[in-house]
Amino acid sequence: MLRCEGISAAYGFMRVLHQVSLEIAAEEFVALIGANSAGKTTLLKIISGLLRPFAGEVSFRGTSLMTLRPHEIVHQGIIQIPEGRWIFPEMTVHENLIMGGYNVRAKPRREANFSRVFELFPHLEQRRNQIAGSLSGGEQQMLAVGRALMAEPLFLMLDEPSLGLAPLIIDLIFEVLLKLNREKMTIFLVEQNVQLSLEVARRAYVLEHGRIILQGASKDLQENEAVKRAYLGI
Amino acid sequence: MKAILAILIVILLLLPHWLNPYWVHILIYSLWFVYLCSAWNIVGGFAGQFAFAHSVFIGLGAYTSTVLYLNLNLSPWLGLFPGALLAALAGLFMAWLSFRYDLPHLSFALITLGFAYIAMFLVSTIEAVGAEAGIHIPPRGNSWLEFQFAGKLPYYYIILAMTLGVIYLSWLIQKRKMGLYFMAIRDNEQAAAAVGINLLGTKMMAMAISALLCALAGTFWAQYTLFIEPASTFGPLVVIQMILFTAIGGIGTLWGPVVAPLILTPIGEILRAKLGTQYAGINMIVYGSFVVIVILFMPHGIVKWVAGRKRERPKERR
Amino acid sequence: MPGLMIFFQAVIQGIMMGSVYFLMATGLSMIFSVTRLLNFAHGDFMVVAMYSCLVLFVGLKLDPYVSIFLITPLMFGLGLLIYRFLIRPVLRAHILMVIQLTLGLVFIVESGLLLIFTADFKTVPTFLTGSKIYLGPFIVGTPLLVSFLTSSFIAGFLFWVLKTTDFGRAIRAIAQSPDAAALMGINVGRIQMQVFGLGFLLLGIAGPMVIPLLTMMPFMGLHLTLFAFIILVLGGMGNFLGALLGGLILGVAEALGYLYLGAGFAPAVPYSIFVLVLLFKPQGLLGGRR
């Protein structure tokens, strides 16, 4: 469904990504793991159109995304939940969700989508008129996921969803993700929490210093010595 | 390079003898702007402190020396010292404000603009200096002591000397440590402070120098035109022109503030003379249009653009 | 007590004038909130709208209150054009470059007006000029009252748009985070352009309405722009309600300034407030971001 070929990117003279290539097929749940400044967020920004690589191509269902503007990429169905969530702090929960469903594709089914989100996150429904900035970290993450769902994603990307969250909330979020994946949603998860990622994702890529150094089925990676030493602390 | 400069200077020295007074006036006016732009560039370009306050400095210089001249018969050559001092103090005050309240660039620019307007309004209420109508300096003769001359030539040489002096000063600053400190602050204040640069001191230094120089220009102008008034002397138009010319030439470059006024002022003045009665304000339209065009196509100013074309730039990573 | 009466008279006039200032400033505020741009030529374009009324009066004998309907859409279009060709290319550059560009526009517009209309003070007669209305014991010029009512109505309308329409929400979203807005599928560039046009449209309304209240001259633009800046700073940059509050404060402060300090010092009052607020409460009296 999504394919990155030879993505190379830099900030000024600082190279961040080197020839990154990966592929995610429909209905898959794939993870991208790696240390903090490996370049994971940069890759997601490139896919969403917020950054331009100086080499390489991203294509979605056969169409190249390289000439599309960010809002057009959203219209294609590629939805990102960015690191830090980026919810609109001065709007209510309800308004944030409306913003999620802003794109033209999803607008007609806005009301139906509300119901679905509140079904998944009843906690949010209780707080629907609360100002988003006053929510706790976990509630904001729920809101971010709900907002993404309002956009009727065909391809959902998450950047470090577990960051700063209590284990209980993390479990809740990841259960929702698994549920969505069972309902045929394609998910691309970028995470520092390697253990968690390898438990939920079927396949994973390992990114180190801007390069893909390993890839394969999660089960295999969990057994891999290098991975165990570097990321699982074993 | 040095040879070219030397030849240019010689030409400038001899030029006015062959030109009629009208052209000499244009030269004087152009050089005056070169002087002002270079002075602004020291704090706005090198040190990156974008400010509109310079109308206050010019005004302080002009009014102080004039008031002392008319009331105490103090020669403007002496009177320019108090004016320069007051301007420097004003400059120090503003730099202090910028530091004390940690003002971002935009806020600082707006505050200086506010000060400029306040100063203009306040001066226009003071009867002792002519309020809104300003002061006409009575012609008192033709001597160096009075800083008044019948012909234009002496004025020309004075402003030429001042301008060459300022350019030399700018060149010195660029070369010396001071310039390095200025530019460090311009590029990244926090990093500069982290390296141990005295933010407050450096900002104050840049502003004070710039202010002082502008005050001198104010005194010169007062003695040249023999007329000062709040609207034009303390008004924002001159400052804005200074900034625009410097932007066209290239903010932060040495020759930017020199090249732009030398090209634009004569064009503007000629247009004003030829078409001014029929098409008033056409010179301003030209200045404004130049700025817009330059910002759109040569955002770092003419000087940098020309320099970029001349040298083959190493291919930057796409 | 005559003293108190005069005071209230000034306050009322200040509030009404303040609503007009608000109208002028709110366009700038919205533009700032979605582009972080401060257009130094903002006031000058309001003056353009005013002079356009002069042209329409001389040419077609149209009363400015009628011209509003012609001028407003034209101003919107002008705003779109200026944004597309002059502003958008420089938006990503340093903010100081944008300031320089708009300063250049100030020169072009003010000198252009000088060229076409000369420096003489001008005015355009309207069918309401000179008429007055009694509000209880106070006298108010009808044009001022009409401006106040129009501005209030527009303020309410804009507030409604911001709160309930998708366009309004998109504006608020971009103001809080342009990148997050882009990830929602909002075409940030297009909204920015439309808001810029909207700002100009508001000038197209404010300009003609102000004709009976001020005399026109080519150089008044920068002064008006500064008033808009003062209002923005007072209310908090990009804060809609803040602009409303700021406009009222400015209007009242100006009116009281003229009443108690006389025509000499009065003009300095708004600027003094400006400087003080920038120094001591730069986020504006209503607080808010930045």
Three-state secondary structure along chain A?
Answer: CEEEEEEEEEECCEEEEEEEEEEECCCCEEEEECCCCCCHHHHHHHHHCCCCCCEEEEEECCEECCCCCHHHHHHHCEEEECCCCCCCCCCEHHHHHHHHCCCCCCHHHHHHHHHHHHHHCHHHHHCCCCEHHHCCHHHHHHHHHHHHHHCCCCEEEEECCCCCCCHHHHHHHHHHHHHHHHCCCEEEEEECCHHHHHHHCCEEEEEECCEEEEEEEHHHHHHCHHHHHHHCCC
Q: What distance in Å separates the CA atoms of residue B170 and residue B179, rounded to the nearest whole number?
A: 9
Cβ atoms A46, A71 nearer than 8 A:
no
Whether C189 and chain A come into contact, CB under 8 Å, resolves to yes
Q: What percent of chain A has pLDDT over 70?
A: 96
Per-residue pLDDT at A138: 86
Q: A156 near A188, Cβ under 8 Å? A: yes
Helix (H, G, I), strand (E, B) or coil at C76: helix
pLDDT (tens digit, 9 = 90+) per residue, C67-95?
899 999 999 999 999 999 988 888 777 77
The mean pLDDT value for A183-191 works out to 89
| Cβ <8 Å between B317 and A10 | yes
Residue C284 exposed, middle or buried by CB count within 10 Å (0-12, 13-18, 19+): buried
Q: Do B284 and C108 count as a contact with CB atoms less than 8 A apart?
A: yes
**What Å distances lie between residue A76 and A104, A181, A194, C91, CA to CA?**
10, 19, 29, 27
pLDDT at residue number B311: 62
- Residues of chain C in contact with residue B284, where contact means CB-CB under 8 angstroms, are 107-108, 110-111, 114
DSSP B144: T
- Specify the pTM: 0.86
Residue A38 has pLDDT above 70, yes or no: no
Say yes or no: C116 contacts chain B, CB-CB below 8 A. no
Give residue-wise pLDDT tens across range A71-100. Answer: 999 988 899 999 888 889 889 998 998 888
Q: Which of residues A34 and B55 earns the better pLDDT score?
A: B55
Mean pLDDT value of segment A22-33: 88
Whether residue C250 contacts residue C235, with contact meaning beta carbons closer than 8 Å, is answered with: no
- Chains near C, with 3+ CB pairs < 8 A? A, B
Give the pLDDT confidence score for residue C290 in this predicted structure: 38
Task: Provide the mean pLDDT of chain A.
Answer: 86
Q: Name residue, tokens 């998109």.
A: C170
Closest CA in chain A for residue B316: A13
pLDDT at C281: 76
ipTM entry:
0.85
Residue C38 has pLDDT above 50, yes or no: yes
* Residue predicted with more confidence, C120 or C106: C106
Reduced to 3 states (helix: H, G, I; strand: E, B; else coil), residue C133 is strand
Would the CB atoms of C103 and B122 count as touching at under 8 Å?
no
Q: What percent of chain C has pLDDT over 90?
A: 34
The C-alpha torsion from C113 through B25 and B124 to B80, rounded to 10°, is 150
Is residue C155 predicted with pLDDT exceeding 70? Answer: yes
Alpha carbons B208 and B212: distance in angstroms, whole number: 6
Digit-by-digit pLDDT tens for chain B (318 residues) are 778 878 888 887 887 777 787 888 888 899 999 999 999 999 888 888 888 999 999 999 999 988 888 888 888 888 889 999 999 999 999 888 888 887 777 788 888 988 898 888 888 888 777 777 788 888 777 777 777 777 778 888 888 889 999 999 998 888 888 888 888 888 888 888 888 888 888 889 899 999 999 999 999 998 888 888 888 888 888 898 899 899 888 888 888 899 889 888 888 888 888 877 777 778 888 888 888 888 888 877 788 778 777 764 444 333
Per-residue confidence (pLDDT) for residue C61, from 0 to 100 = 86
CA distance B10 to chain C (A): 35
Angstroms from C280 CA to nearest CA on chain A: 24
Residue C171 contacts A where some CB pair is shorter than 8 Å: no
Q: How is residue C165 written in tokens?
A: 């329409």
pLDDT digits (tens, 9 = 90+) for C253-268: 999 888 888 777 788 8
> Which residue is closest to A157 within chain C, CA to CA?
C183
CB neighbour list of residue C54: distance below 8 Å, 6 or more residues apart: C117, C122, C124, C216
B285: nearest CB among C99, C111, C264:
C111
Residue B37: what pLDDT?
94
- Closest Cβ opposite residue C180 in set A79, A88, A95: A88
Q: Using an 8 Å Cβ cutoff, are B236 and B113 in contact? A: yes
With contact defined as 3+ CB pairs under 8 Å, the chains touching A are B, C
- Residue in chain C nearest B124 by alpha carbon: C264
Confidence of residue C284 (pLDDT cuts 50, 70, 90): low
User: Is the dihedral angle over the CA atoms B28, B182, B186, B171 positive or is it negative?
Assistant: positive
Query: Is residue A124 within 8 Å of C198, Cβ to Cβ?
Result: no
Nearest to C268 among B50, B106, B118 (CB): B118
* Nearest residue of C to residue B187, measured between CA atoms: C94
CB-nearest partner of C279 from B97, B118, B291:
B97
Say if A131 is an interface residue toward chain C (CB within 8 Å). Answer: no
Beta bridge partners of A201: none
pLDDT of the residue at C225: 92
